Amino acid sequence: MVKTGDAQRGGWRNGLAARLTALTGLLLVALAGAVVAFTAFESRRDAADRMVAELAGDVQAAAEALGRGDEVHDVLKALSARPQALYVTLDARGGDVVVALAPAAQPPAVARDVLAETSGDGPAAITLADGAAHAAKTVALSGGGEATLRVGVSLAAADASAASAASRGLIAALAVLLVGLPAFALVVRRTLSPLRGLAQAISRVDGASLEVDRAALRRDEIGDLARAHSTMTREMFRNAAALRRAAFDDPLTRLMNRDGLNRRLSEALQVGQGVALLKIEVGGLERVTTGLGPAGADAAVHGAADRVREAAAEWTRRARAIHALGDDLAVSVARIGEAQFALLAHGAGEAAAEELARLTLAAFEGPLRLDEHRIGLSPAIGVAFAPQHGDRAEALMRSAGAALAAARLARGPAVRIAGAELNDRAYSRLRIEQELRRALAEDELEVHYQPQLALGGGRVIGAEALVRWRHPLRGLIAPGEFVPVAEETGLVEPLGRFVLAQASRQAAAWASMGIPIRVAVNVSPLQFRNPRFSEAALQIIREAGADPSRIELEITESAAMADPSHAARELAPLRSAGVRIAIDDFGTGYSNFAALTQLPFDVLKIDRSFVRDALVTPGARVVVEAVLGLARNLDVETVAEGVETEEQRAFVTAGGCTFGQGYLFGRPMPGDAFEAWYANRLGAQLRAVVAEAQAQPWGRHAAARAVIPPSPGFAQPAAS
């Protein structure tokens, strides 16, 4: 729980009520001080004004008495006898001075013109200085002549009056503070008490409080704050739930995502619970994406998720019925990839997990219906158990992934259980991936070329470019070992670009040497799905300096028919530029022939499996004959792959196949070895033609004319 703030940690002194009370007290003290000072000032001023007025009156009376002829000493003595008198003097014009009360200091001087104005009925000139009032007046003496009457009076009584007023004011202010401040603090504390309730509510996780509810009923600012807090709390919990869903749920299926599965798996392993983890990859979903678009793909994923849910629910019902287990037996369903799901069976042993896998396979036996379409889906399942195959979430996921990779190799519905062998295989594939990345960067890959010959006459018309990996420690690695890893990890795109660039440079070099053959290059389905495939391929060919007509791109039947509109869009600019297009592995898929005929292509390649089995399996023979007939009707060329025997060669030749490729004609070889092989074959053909011509007396000159002179730059072997 969160602390309620500094007020709770520092006591009441740091509270808002104490601060407001202290501030109010300071303001009251300042105000009381100002009032007391003003009152004292006014009191002193009033007292001083009274004393000055009395002094002026006494001086005027004394001047009148002196004018009547009263005894000077008596008049002056009467003035000096008044309270607070400081001095009384009468200065005659002749210089005589009558002093009734001598001044302690020299009185302030008065200007003559000012004294002149005080004669007769004029008022005395009053000067305030040094805490005293000084009066000076010109008087007319009864005996004749004039004199100046000076009287000084202390204003100490006015100061005493001010001090008395200040004391009374301070006492009154203190009384007000002593009574008013506690009352004010009580009012403030009660006024702010709902704020304390809000603070306590905020410190709780749920934010709920009876004080907040009561405060929300108020119609003042505190009520506004309480209502705002309630609204904020509701929005916070709503947003927190949304964030939780975004972090741990798949937005499409509302199943757990990979992070949610990892969290739940970690929680189960932390408490030592035995679990079975099933990783499921649903084959066929990628075809829906390319064939039916995003909406169809989403619907297919929903359908697959529903089938996984149904399998989990059926397994739970059966397990509880058979074993009488409680509600703690449950299966968590997650979507962890585009076409991958996972089942986390809590408390399941090996037999129970295998049953769950069988139910999952059974759930996908029927086709998935999407409107008028029927989609066949094929799940591959990898199973791992905790703690046998991993006591941490990462290790268990890795073991299940290795088992899934093994199940995927079955090319159909399959289940594999994790084990040390599968983990070693997965580690080996990971090592191959890492080393393949290095091989691409350090030029360890090379391209070999397998000849393609015209079955009628044996002329070499082309070569297929096949990648090989010359490992610094393991030697030459076959493509079957690293190409599948490249396809799984996305390395097949840079690998394909490398092969096309090398093959294009080789085609350009052979053209300059007078070797008039084309080079065929395989294109992976992942490469072909690139929306800018044709643009990138033409750029590579042109940068290599090759004539596009010397390049043939082989697109697999399944890749071409996965999205016929994409295939037509990408193949058209290639064919317009002169690049030949071949449909590879033809006959292995389930092509829509109507859509196939709309694609721009030049060659159909018959898969090696049909060529191999055609002489022993009637079905394979029928497929080969059907493909050759289709090619004749479409007026395209054909290439029979994997021709290894004379019988196979004779069979495909009799069926009208255009070209052949296989070990019977030549194995894949590096470029320089291919050049030597080509030269030797050309020399052998030349010698055969010359020998045959020489055997006919009439044919010597015809034989000479039949031999085509070699192009400049290519070394022609000797005829002998």
Query: Helices in 110-155 by DSSP H: which ranges?
Result: 112-117
In contact, 485 and 432? CB cutoff 8 Å: yes
Residue 641 bears catalytic tag: yes
In contact, 47 and 132? CB cutoff 8 Å: no
**Among residues 202, 171, 178, 157, which one has the least CA distance to residue 48?**
157
- Give CA–CA dist 399/393, Å, rounded: 10
Reading the block at residue 595, the tokens are: 């859509």
SS3 assignment for 542-590: HHCCCCHHHEEEEEEHHHHHHCHHHHHHHHHHHHHCCCEEEEEEECCCC
Reading the block at residue 217, the tokens are: 């009923």
Q: What are the distances in angstroms from CA 38 to CA 34, 46, 399?
A: 6, 12, 91
Catalytic residue, from 554, 637, 641, 675: name it.
641
What would you measure as the largest C-alpha separation in the chain, in angstroms?
Answer: 193
Supply the DSSP string of 421-433, one letter for each residue.
Answer: HHHHHHHHHHHHH
State the number of CA atoms in the 13 A half-sphere of 465 facing the CB: 29
Q: Where are the beta strands (DSSP E) in 347-408?
A: 368-370, 373-375, 378-386
In single-letter form, the type of residue at position 567 comes to A
In contact, 553 and 541? CB cutoff 8 Å: no
Q: What are the distances in angstroms from CA 400 to CA 127, 408, 593?
A: 111, 12, 40
Reading the block at residue 605, the tokens are: 């390649």
Rg of the chain over all Cα atoms, to the nearest angstrom: 57
CA angle 617, 621, 625 (to 5 degrees): 175
Residues 6+ apart with CB under 8 A from 623: 587, 610, 614
DSSP state of 248: H
- Give CA–CA dist 657/631, Å, rounded: 9
Instruction: Find how far residue 545's CA is from the centre of its chain.
Output: 43
In contact, 282 and 364? CB cutoff 8 Å: yes
Residues 6+ apart with CB under 8 A from 563: 290, 291, 529
| Phi, then psi, of 343 in degrees rounded to 5 | -120, 125
Neighbours of 287 (CB within 10 A): 18
> Token pair 């979903």 is at which residue?
285
In contact, 420 and 478? CB cutoff 8 Å: no
> Token pair 């990408």 is at which residue?
570
Residues 6+ apart with CB under 8 A from 74: none
In contact, 346 and 268? CB cutoff 8 Å: yes
Query: Helices in 382-464 by DSSP H: which ranges?
Result: 393-408, 420-441
Q: What are the distances in angstroms from CA 185 to CA 4, 27, 189, 211, 672?
A: 21, 14, 6, 21, 101
| Phi, then psi, of 523 in degrees rounded to 5 | -120, 125
- Give CA–CA dist 84/101, Å, rounded: 12
In contact, 211 and 197? CB cutoff 8 Å: yes
Residues 6+ apart with CB under 8 A from 600: 568, 571, 572, 575, 581
- Give CA–CA dist 682/678, Å, rounded: 6
| Phi, then psi, of 320 in degrees rounded to 5 | -70, -35
Q: What positions carry a catalytic annotation? A: 641
